[in-house]
Amino acid sequence: MEERNTLSARSAVLSALLGSHPPRLSARHLVRIGELFGIAEGTVRVALSRMVAAGDLVQDDGRYTLSERLKERQARQDESRDPHTRPWDGTWEIAIVTAERRAPADRAALRDTMTRLRLAELREGAWMRPANLVRSWPEIVPAQCTLIEGRPRRDPTPLLWDLEGWAAEARRLERALASAGESSLAEGFLLSAKVLRHLLKDPLLPAELLPPGWPGAELRRTYDAFDRAYREVLARHLTD
């Protein structure tokens, strides 16, 4: 399979740990996951050492755990599978950048934060989304932005998100999950990672703003069933 050759040892390790609860695996298990993609044991162990040195992983008694930063990423991934939403009353969250003389690193950090919070940029420095998510604002947002709530006169959704594109890819992934019964462990691993990445891009809009037949909930249900079955097979492989 061509995609196997493009998966690095670091990517294999991260995907394995991000998909594990708790995110803690032995070196032996991570080596066996690398073997699924033809990655040599030495290459996996070198990647583990480098990731520990870089602060991505924590090593303890032969086992590797995600750093706190990457545990936050796992939490976002989990949230994308089971989002916490609230009834929508038509209000939008709007964040306007008002801080002056921002360093490039501060600008990049804010953009990354806004993307993780599933806000979209209507124009430079103006971020918004429907106020239907249950969460708090990280400190970086009020430090650089003025936060307001309002109700646009016209629905800005088409300007903010490519809903047709997201839905088309979601349906393609759903079909792939439905036909994954004969897939190898490596193919299942890659497919799982693709679905999780796609779910992270779901804007999680209220039903009132979604086009008919929105596939978000169905993709989650199909993936949950696939993941339960796949994890059982993978666990047996790792303990054989």
Task: Please tell me the number of Cα atoms within 13 Å of 155 on its side-chain side.
Answer: 10
Structure confidence at residue 120 (pLDDT): 98
Q: Is 240's pLDDT higher than 90?
A: no
For residue 3, pLDDT over 50 is answered with no
2-72 fold: Arc Repressor Mutant, subunit A (1.10.10)
**What's the CATH class of domain 161-239?**
mainly alpha
Least confident of 1-5, 42-46, 105-109, 154-158: 1-5
The CA distance from 192 to 226, in Å, is 9
pLDDT of residue 16: 92
Element at 4 (helix H, strand E): none
Residue boundaries of the structural domains of the chain: 2-72, 92-150, 161-239
18-54 pLDDT, tens digit each: 988 899 999 999 999 999 999 999 999 999 999 999 9
pLDDT in tens, 142-194: 999 999 999 999 999 999 999 999 999 999 999 999 988 766 889 999 999 99
- 141, 109 in Cβ contact below 8 A? no
Most confident of the following: 64-68, 179-183, 234-238? 64-68
Give the position of tokens 């936060």. 147
